[in-house]
Structure 1
Amino acid sequence: MIQPGDYFWTEGAPGSEEGSGPSGDVPFDVRGDLKRNAPLAKLVWFKSGGAADWLFEPADLDDLTTFMAALEPGTPVMALGLGSNLIIRDGGVPGVVVRLGKPFSTVEVKREHVVECGGGTPGILVASTARDAGIAGMEFLRGIPGTVGGFVRMNGGAYGREVADILVDCDVVMPGGDLVTLPVADLEYSYRHSRLTDGAIVVAARFKGEAGDPEEIGAEMDRIADERENSQPLRTKTGGSTFKNPEGGKAWKLVDEAGCRGLQIGGAQVSEKHTNFLINTGEATSSDIENLGEEVRRRVAETSGVALEWEIKRVGRP
């Protein structure tokens, strides 16, 4: 595998931070923000983990496609949204982390109850825009703490609905820089999974709802917000739902029945409020958090015979 240091300058380029210039081997002009050895802990909900070899925040879509086209084949690329369902391992992330910022945080109402969103748009903004336009069916996005790019990739869902129910199609920048539009059928959605390849970045999506009353839509969004507030440890350093619900069951119930409520390893703890959430009590390392999750899986398998699957994505070097 060719490492970023092999094809990026190791000295500062004009207009960049030291050690963050573009390649001399593959000429291109980066207009966004490109940083080397960029700490990621502050960008994820757990507030733990190492640095990215490179962190790129593109200025716009053209900047992103040009950058992706210029990377050496095989370079690891990972998109980062709000960092809500993610463990960044302590050794950091190899290759390039792409963070879609304000230029990709857009939402526009189209005809026939379609809402078009940028890949960096938070779910709450999508839901609120749909509410104001009298478009029902997207209220559940109020309960997904992430961005469009993330929950399109993983078929995010909550409160009985999932992205597969509303997605029309999405625009994706593929490894190599090609921009393609994929209809929902091409994603071959299953529970919290799509067939999108590693390194593909969702830059826009279109969701279709139905006509609804803004007051009723708003009331449902408020109900979802209240339920989340009352049942989840939202005001802690957490990563959202840790494990996928097994078929016909609830992950939190299995964790609770295995005696894991409040279980702690280092600075990581199983939430007392909702046992499918892990929390960083203060100074937890990502290793603490991941090891705790694995211990929970072991105990659940031992007591119930169920092998819980991680819903939180774990990336980087141990």
Structure 2
Amino acid sequence: MFSKPKGLLTLSFALLFASATFAQEANPAVPGTINYVEGSAAIAGQPLTQRAVGSAQLDPGQVLTTGNGRVEILLTPGIFFRLDENSAVRMVAPGLTHTELELVHGQAEVEADNLLRQNNVEVAENGTTTQLLKNGLYAFNAAPGNLRVFDGKAAVFDASGKPEVVKGDHMLALTGEAEKSVKFDPASSEDDFYNWSSLRSQYLTQANSQLATEYAGSAYAPGWMWDPWLLSYTWLPGDGMFLNPFGWGFYSPWWIYAYGPVRGGYYGYGYHGVYRGPAHGFHGAPGAFHGGAAGGFHGGSAGGFHGGGMGGGRR
């Protein structure tokens, strides 16, 4: 019978213990929580490392800057804010019902997978304020100053307070004065930052399907859920299955319990209802993370999962 070498067994337990220790240090996720750090980044001049994931957060008035690096920030459950290299963002309001950030310079993307009627998620840039109205993918660029809506719907308010609605496949110049949106080609805008954001989304949905499988048939708290193997939070829906703008799926434990583990054969819709290929979930064995020390690593869930619709008028 094959037996694992003692040294490898010791190393495995050491890595598991290290993951446990790190996971137990993670705070319950709230809007502004740092969820991923790659390369050089800092909050208020204090450098961020991967160890800050799950414990550091961007407080009101603080500015997060990147050099040769990128950062992912959690907003309300199911909404991710990603900051590109050589960029800066200021936290304005980190509330569950009013979440607002200001892009100071550089580029950012917002992936909204669970925008509820009670959520008011806004991004300020160049004298304008953009309110997200639907689930989708939104790209902001402070220079020259524009918004690209790959998928979804947003309302942009200029200095006069007059809104301009921007739908999917449309972009708007953010100059602080009234402008009209124009169509753009999403495929030609899939740059390196877009691809990085898509890859982060894929990792998060893999973590989601692992946890959803583990909690299938068990009590759980929907919202942000810590994954000790990814060493970051992912989103766990309360029910159903959600396809995000990249075509990856977020599954609830209820959905896994009712329809079985994700093993392939499911398909995710991309932009405009076009099929993007096979389901992008984790295809490993169900219950792979049951038992053992892993049982205590599930972290906290930020509140604010209220169910219901999405979007709404500007407050």
The answer to which structure has the higher strand fraction is 2
The answer to which structure has the higher helix fraction is 1
The interval holding the TM-score normalised by the smaller chain is under 0.3
